[in-house]
Amino acid sequence: MACKNCKQKKENVEDSTQNEETMEEPTITNIVSDADIGGGFLMKLAIFIVIVISIPLIITVLIFQVFLNFFLPKQVYKINGSIKKFFRGLLDKHVEIIHDYQLRKKNKEFSNNRGYEDGSDLLDIEVYEDLTDNKEKN
């Protein structure tokens, strides 16, 4: 006969060993096949198509890079520089487009605001300044 605490500890140890035996490392295929991705079959099909297209593209780029490094090592720096300039230009253009869009959005938002033209209610507003603040600034 064992005490209550000893039995509980023994049961906990047995449960933890059973859990360790049944645990598996999740793989990408298990995650994709078992996951409930919002679209079900169509989402799985889209993921499959993206993977099938991207793997040959990556392999082609790597083969091209190896070819350049073996046969045209001096040209690699020029090509990499031009590629960097190209993507930096794309990024700058993207930032410019976003800036212009936000500027147009703000102009549209504030286009109906009243101004300080003649006959506006804003001309009747009087501003009173505190003289102590002006003395402290001087």
Q: Domain check: are 41 and 62 in the same one?
A: yes
Same domain, 81 and 95: yes
Give the end of a domain, one of 24, 56, 71. 71
Residue 83 lies in a domain: yes
More confident residue, 21 or 63: 63
- Residue 23 CA, chain-centre distance (Å), reads 32
Q: Are residues 77 and 102 in the same domain?
A: yes
Domain stops at, among 49, 71, 93: 71
Question: What confidence tens digit (pLDDT) does each residue in 86-132 have?
Answer: 999 999 999 999 999 999 998 888 777 666 666 566 666 676 776 66
Residue 91 counted as domain residue: yes
Q: Are 50 and 37 in contact (CB under 8 A)?
A: no
* pLDDT value of position 49: 93
Domain assignment present for residue 118? The answer is: no
Chain segment 39-60, per-residue pLDDT in tens: 677 888 888 999 999 999 999 9
- Distance in angstroms (rounded) separating the CA atoms of residues 89 and 95: 10
What per-residue confidence (pLDDT) applies to 14? 62
- Per the structure, the complete domain to which residue 63 belongs is given by 34-71
Question: In terms of DSSP H, where are the helices of 1-138?
Answer: 4-22, 28-34, 41-71, 73-109, 131-137
Residue 132 included in any domain: no
Average the pLDDT over 11-35 and give the result: 61
pLDDT of residue 31: 65
Are 66 and 39 in a shared domain?
yes
Number of domain units in the chain: 2
